[in-house]
Every structure is written in C-alpha cells, then in structure tokens.
Amino acid sequence: MRLYVAAQVSIVCGHGASVGCPMPDGKSVESYVSKRDPIEQGASSDGGSDLDANFKRWETETLAPALESAPERKEKFRTQALKWDVNRLYSPRDLEAIDFDFNRDVGFPGEFPYTRGTDPNGYRSRLWTMAQVTGFGTGEDWATRADYMLEQGLDGLIIEYDLPTTNGLDSDHPLAAGEVGRAGVAIDSLEDMERTLSFDFSKLKHLTSVCNGPQPVNLAMIIAAIEKKGIDPASFTLQMPNAILIEYTCVGRYIYPPEHGLRVATDVIEYTIRNQPHWVPIAVVSAQLYAARANPVQELAFGFSIAMEYLDSVLKRGLTIDEVAPYFSFITGVDMDFFEAIGKLRAYRKVWARLLTERYGAKGEDSLRLKLMSSPGTMSMTLQQPLNNISRLSMQMLSCVLGGGGQTMTSPLHDEAHALPSEEAIAVGAAIQNIVAHESGTADTIDPLAGSYYVESMTRRIEDAVMAEIEKIDAMGGALQAIKTGYFQRELAREQFDRNKEIEDGSRKLVGVNHLAKDDEERQIELFALDPGSEQRQIERLEALRERRDNTKVDAALGRVRAAAETDENLMPSVLEAVKVLATQGEICDVLREVFGVYTPDSLTSGV
C-alpha cells in the first residue's frame, strides 16, 4: 500500500489544495480533504477506513449542501466510447478496490510492464518522430508534396495510395473510374514508384507505406526503386501495415479470401525479417478499427487478436518468438475523451507485454516493447466549423504525449473531414506537434499522470476488459474465425449505430454539429484542389508502358508468380522479379486472384 501513496505525491501537491503534502517516506500524510479534521492515513493499515470515514463526511457535510443549491448538470456522467460511469471523485479508495500495486501495475519506464513507456527516458532524450500522411495524384505530385512536408520539419512520411492501387487494380480497370489519384497516389508499375520516391531521402527517417492487399507488390516496388536510386535500405525505416485482416474487419480493401490474405501477409513478414531486417513488415492498424468506431477495449482486443493470428502464422515458418515479435508494430487512433485515450495508450503497452510473456514466453526486451504510432484526429474532425478542429487536435496531441503515444505520431489535420490536406493544414498540424513538444512542458517528465487515481483506475479497467475480450475471441477460435463469422463486423456496426443515435438525440454533444451549430455557414478554410487531368495522364502512361516493355519477359515472370502461389513458396522473390520487368500491380494481383479466388462477404460478414 505504501508504494502508491508515495507515487501520488506530485499529484496531490500539484492540485495546490494540500495542507500537508504526503512525504515521500509516507509516514506523515495529513488529510488534503479537510483542514478541520486532519487524519493520519499514510502507510498505516487502517488508512483505508479513515479515508472511508472522511470521504463519507465530505459527502454529507460539504458536498450535499453544494448539490442542493447546484444539482449536477447531467443525470449520468459516462466516458464517451466505453460508456463507463465516471465517478464524481477518485481517491486512494479506487486504487485499493483494484488492488493496485505500483511495481506490478506501473513500474518504471523501459521495463516490464511498460505502462510508463517503452523508452527508459520517455521523451527527454528523443522526441517522437513527427510524421504526416499524404497521397494524391501521380508519383511526381507525391514527391513534390513529400519535399514540402520534410521542409516543414516533419521527418516521417506516410504514403497513402489511391483506391485502385490498394485494391490491386490498374488505373484503367472499370472499377477504378473516378478514383485514380484521388484518395492517394496512383501506382501501376515500378516506374510510378520510382517517381513517387524521387524526393530528398536525406531528410527522411521513417516511411510508412499503406498498401495492405497488394503489400508484396508494393514492397517489391519499393525495394526495386530504391535499389535503382542507390539508396541504402538501412538509412530509413520502412513500415508496412500489411494489415490485411483489418481490411476484412472494416476497411474493405480486401482482395483474396481471408486465409490467403493471411498467407500473403505472412510471406511479406517472413521475407522482410530474413532479407531487410531493419524494416518493419507488419503494423496492426488498430486505428482503422477505431475509425470504424471500435471503442478502446474493442480496438485493443480485436487488434491484439489479429496480431496473434499473424504471430502464429509467422512462427510456423520456423522462426522463434524473439526473432519475430520485435518486427511487430501498431498504429492507433486517438479520440476526444481525454482519459479514455490516455488509459488506452498506457494499457496498450501493458497488454502487449503481458500477452508476449504469458502466452508466447517471449524473453527479449525488444519483443515486449510495443512499437506504437499514434494518430490524433481522423474520426473526430467535424465538417462544420472546421477551425474548431485545431483545438480538438491540440487536446488529442496532448493526450498522445501524456499517455505515451509511441515513437511516431502523425500530424493532425483540421481539414480531414473536407478534402485532402491543404498545405496550410499540414503546416498547422506540424505546428500543433511542436507546440505540444516545446511549449506545454508535458514531454519533459516521463508518464506524468502515473499515480492519478482516475488514470490508474482507467488504465487497469481497460487492461482487464481487453484481456477478457481477448479470451472471448479465443473461445470463438481466434481473430480469423471472428472475422469469418462476422463477430467483429457486427460489434462495430452496433457501435456505429449507437454513436450516431447519441449525436442525433443530443446525449453526446459535438460543438458545431449539435451544439452551438450554425445554419448555412461558409467554409472558412483553404481547401486542396486536385488536378482533374491526372487520372487521364496516368491511364495514358500505363497504356504506353504496356506497349513499350518486353511482354515476353512479363508473361514469364507472371508465370513464376503463379507457380509460387500454387505452392507454399514465399511469393516475394517471384513478385520482385515481375516488378522489375515492369509487370503492373493489377497484372500480378490478377494472377493471385486466379489462384486464390476473390473474397465476397455475405450478409453476416458485411456488418450491414
């Protein structure tokens, strides 16, 4: 018991309400509740009952009269996503109720269970990598934007590809009409990737390439392009989400049936571990689950269950857990409920470390340390009154830093709900990161909210609920099974419906949407305008490529991809060869479609 009292020193003093700050030795702790009735509590064994008595006294003597003149403004106070009751006041009683133990629950930074962060010195030695998502147009457009972003002080870039690319289709496919270069950059061949990667690599630390379904083709194109450019693959970190199981759950950019999707993803992971050991071949993008309205418990439980499917699948390739686990990374989304967000980030690290030790017997520190990227913004940006989003983003960025959002954070964008990011939004987003980093002081001490009665209660409650949900998914046969039976999809559909209902009935207030809303407001922000001609140019380029390349070589290379797909040979070497002779992404994926089949969800698994 004594340890947690000591841990709360800074919090109690920080409120400025204390008349006798608890001493670090825990011997003499005066009541900070009442000046009239100081109580000895501290490390003594009867501290709990004294506190109980004092708590009750406060409720009757001080609180009750106040409530009489000013009743509470809501019947129930609940957290936003989890709908957990929020107590009026948290105190050591809440930590006793969960049998809180400093060493077991919190511990020290860089040590198990990593609640206080994976870096032993928090953000005091190194700030997080500040990254930015972007993607539109053709390869040249992307490279120009990349140079602009690197000049803004960002050192990590995230490439988003357009929908035809992420669905494994070429730009001239009928389903691609109207989508080429829209939601991301259009890639058909190695030449497009070379154009995309023609920015100044000397400033780049981190590159994330988001192309889940066709990830082997995408990885092959990046390897071949930087080889031609003469760039050392070890000079930056390439992170591939390779997160196909999330696509079946909510995003919808799947290609093959789930088992085959898992095999393709496993090929990418195994190949990267063996051939590009400084890169990160898997990121479980739980941010996508969050974007589909998963609450924090669902986000972590579904995400970790999915991660364990990949782990189990790679372990079958003859690698050990400590050879594989260090290559696993995660990307999370951060929402508006400040304490849910902080509790989620702290529980995220703890649950990963527990799963790896308890279930897999991992020993390596690098296996247990969660590699996390956090994305503020995305789903909480409103279309109405877009400048308000800047304030939302600052709060989310703050919760990222206070909760320990990991080694990389993405720059938030206040025009997310409107359009592709404008240059202004990118600059403001980068500024928000820097304001929190350099002006708020929150990055100057490690895990500053540790010991907060509320934050520790929230962290533990999320941890326990995530472990229980993972066990429930285990009982269904794991994540792949939960996807195939539509469990994840239906759970998310329910959350989506409930959230919409809360906004419509006003029980959840959103400023500018159902609170302080204005009719017919003018847009007040600069929006990015896309070049309407880029789709046609991309298609013409693709047609010219098909004419000019050596099609005999292409056919032979595609034949070798097919042969690999038909056996359990790793797809990467043959795909790399096909990419180098300028086979297009659509052509390579078509071969795989013929071998693996195409996934079509039914009414149960669509979630609708």
Partner 1 sequence: MSSSSPSDRPRTIRVLLAKLGLDAHTIGVTVIAKSLRDAGMEVIYSGLKQTPEMVVATAIQEDVDVVGISSLSAAHMNHLPRVIELLKAEGVGDKLIIAGGVIPKEDGETLKAQGVAEVFTMGTETATIVRYIEDWWATR
Q: Looking at 97-105, 235-243, 392-400, 596-604, which segment touches partner 1 (CB under 8 A)?
A: 596-604
Residue 475 or 608: which CB sits closer to partner 1? 608
Q: Which of residues 220-259 bind partner 1 (CB under 8 A)?
A: 250-253
Q: Does 182 bind partner 1 (CB under 8 A)?
A: yes
Neighbouring CB atoms inside 10 A of 336's CB total: 16
Q: Does 175 bind partner 1 (CB under 8 A)?
A: yes
Distance of CA 548 to the CA centre of its chain: 42
Residue 315 or 417: which CB sits closer to partner 1? 417
Q: Interior CA angle at 457 toward 456 and 458, to 5°?
A: 90
Binding track, positions 336-375, relative to partner 1; x by CB under 8 A: ----------------------------------------
CB of 588 to partner 1, least distance (A): 18
Q: Does 178 bind partner 1 (CB under 8 A)?
A: yes
CB of 425 to partner 1, least distance (A): 17
Neighbouring CB atoms inside 10 A of 171's CB total: 30
Q: Which of residues 503-542 bind partner 1 (CB under 8 A)?
A: 504, 513
Q: Interior CA angle at 236 toward 234 and 240, to 5°?
A: 100
Q: Does 601 bind partner 1 (CB under 8 A)?
A: yes
CB of 298 to partner 1, least distance (A): 15
Q: Does 38 bind partner 1 (CB under 8 A)?
A: no
Residue 294 or 351: which CB sits closer to partner 1? 294
Q: Which of residues 101-130 bind partner 1 (CB under 8 A)?
A: none
Neighbouring CB atoms inside 10 A of 200's CB total: 11
Q: Which of residues 50-89 bind partner 1 (CB under 8 A)?
A: none
CB of 273 to partner 1, least distance (A): 30
- The number of CA neighbours under 13 Å toward the Cβ of 238 is 28
Question: Given candidates 86, 443, 493, 511, which one binds partner 1 under the rule CB under 8 A?
Answer: 493
Residue 120 or 506: which CB sits closer to partner 1? 506
Q: Does 384 bind partner 1 (CB under 8 A)?
A: yes
Phi-psi region of 129 (alpha: psi -120 to 50; beta: other; left: phi over 0): beta
Helix (H) / strand (E) containing 72: none
Place of tokens 């080429």: 180
Q: Looking at 160-168, 204-212, 353-361, 433-441, which segment touches partner 1 (CB under 8 A)?
A: 160-168
Helical packing angle, 258-275 and 572-580, nearest 10°: 80
107, β-bridge pairs: none
Contact by Cβ (8 Å): 255, 298: no
Residue 116 or 392: which CB sits closer to partner 1? 392
Residue 435 or 503: which CB sits closer to partner 1? 503
Residue 143 or 255: which CB sits closer to partner 1? 255
Q: Which pair of tokens denotes residue 279?
A: 């890169």
Tell me the C-alpha distance between 603 and 231, whole Å.
Answer: 47
Q: CA separation (Å) from 487 to 41, 90, 128, 286, 529?
A: 48, 35, 35, 16, 39
Residue 131 or 420: which CB sits closer to partner 1? 420
- The number of CA neighbours under 13 Å toward the Cβ of 237 is 19
Q: Which of residues 10-29 bind partner 1 (CB under 8 A)?
A: none
- The number of CA neighbours under 13 Å toward the Cβ of 568 is 9
Contact by Cβ (8 Å): 397, 433: yes
CB of 274 to partner 1, least distance (A): 33
Tell me the C-alpha distance between 439 and 454, whole Å.
Answer: 25
Tell me the C-alpha distance between 164 and 186, whole Å.
Answer: 8
Q: Which of 404, 401, 411 is nearest to 375 (CA)?
A: 411
Q: Does 497 bind partner 1 (CB under 8 A)?
A: yes
Question: Given candidates 183, 315, 545, 556, which one binds partner 1 under the rule CB under 8 A?
Answer: 183
Q: Looking at 21-29, 170-178, 480-488, 573-581, which segment touches partner 1 (CB under 8 A)?
A: 170-178
Q: Does 293 bind partner 1 (CB under 8 A)?
A: yes
What sign results for the dihedral spanned by CA atoms 278, 279, 283, 287?
positive
CB of 252 to partner 1, least distance (A): 3
Q: Does 318 bind partner 1 (CB under 8 A)?
A: no
Q: Does 163 bind partner 1 (CB under 8 A)?
A: yes
Q: Looking at 101-109, 120-128, 143-151, 600-608, which segment touches partner 1 (CB under 8 A)?
A: 600-608
Tell me the C-alpha distance between 279 and 219, whole Å.
Answer: 11
Contact by Cβ (8 Å): 447, 467: no
The DSSP 8-state label assigned to residue 422 in this structure reads P
Tell me the C-alpha distance between 500 and 498, whole Å.
Answer: 5
Q: Which of residues 412-441 bind partner 1 (CB under 8 A)?
A: 417
> Applying CB under 8 A, what is the total number of residues that bind partner 1?
33
CB of 133 to partner 1, least distance (A): 17
Question: Given candidates 121, 445, 500, 507, which one binds partner 1 under the rule CB under 8 A?
Answer: 500
CB of 526 to partner 1, least distance (A): 17
Which residues, in sequence order, are CB contacts of 22 under 8 Å at separation 6+? 5, 6, 8, 9, 12, 28, 29, 30, 42
Q: Does 167 bind partner 1 (CB under 8 A)?
A: yes
By CB under 8 A, name the binding residues for partner 1. 163-164, 167, 169, 174-179, 182-183, 250-253, 292-293, 383-384, 417, 493, 496-497, 500, 504, 513, 600-601, 603, 606-608
